């Protein structure tokens, strides 16, 4: 099974509440769904390098504490590496992939 995707859930703390950055995707395969930040691993990249690139491309954010949290697979045909990170601050950039929004963790 080839695992060619990654996803990261970026959190921040605001007024004693934890928020998670979500992306409302414009493109398939997850069009019109909220999801974390991520994408395909490009040839020649390590998994960590790919995750760092995807975060920067899709959000413009710098993160800290990026850590591998596991692997999600589906139907023994594919999967994705799952990461978590914390926002270091700064503004979000426009994203070609869809709408970025900070959501309450409980959301």
Secondary structure E strands in the chain: 5-14, 17-25, 34-35, 37-40, 63-74, 78-87, 98-104
The answer as to whether 59 is a domain residue is yes
The answer as to whether 77 is a domain residue is yes
The answer as to whether 105 is a domain residue is no
φ, ψ (nearest 5 deg) of residue 50: -65, -45
The answer as to whether 99 is a domain residue is no
Which residues form the domain of 11?
5-89
Could you tell me if 85 and 64 are in contact, meaning their C-beta atoms sit under 8 angstroms apart? yes
The answer as to whether 61 is a domain residue is yes
**What is the residue-averaged pLDDT of the chain?**
93
Tally the domains of the chain: 1
The answer as to whether 56 is a domain residue is yes
| Digit-coded pLDDT (tens) for 18-57 | 999 999 999 888 899 999 999 999 999 999 999 999 999 9
- Tell me if the pTM is above 0.85: yes
Query: For the domain that residue 84 is a member of, what is the CATH number?
Result: 3.90.79.10
């Amino acid at each position: 099974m080839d695992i060619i995707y990654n996803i990261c859930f970026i959190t921040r703390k605001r007024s004693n509440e934890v928020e998670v950055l979500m992306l409302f995707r414009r493109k398939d395969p997850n069009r019109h769904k909220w999801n974390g930040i991520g994408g395909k691993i490009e040839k020649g990249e390590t998994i960590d390098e790919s995750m760092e690139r995807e975060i920067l491309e899709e959000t413009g954010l710098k993160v800290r504490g990026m850590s591998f949290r596991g692997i999600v697979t589906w139907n023994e045909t594919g999967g994705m590496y799952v990461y978590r990170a914390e926002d270091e601050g700064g503004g979000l950039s426009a994203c070609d992939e869809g709408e970025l929004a900070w959501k309450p963790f409980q959301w």
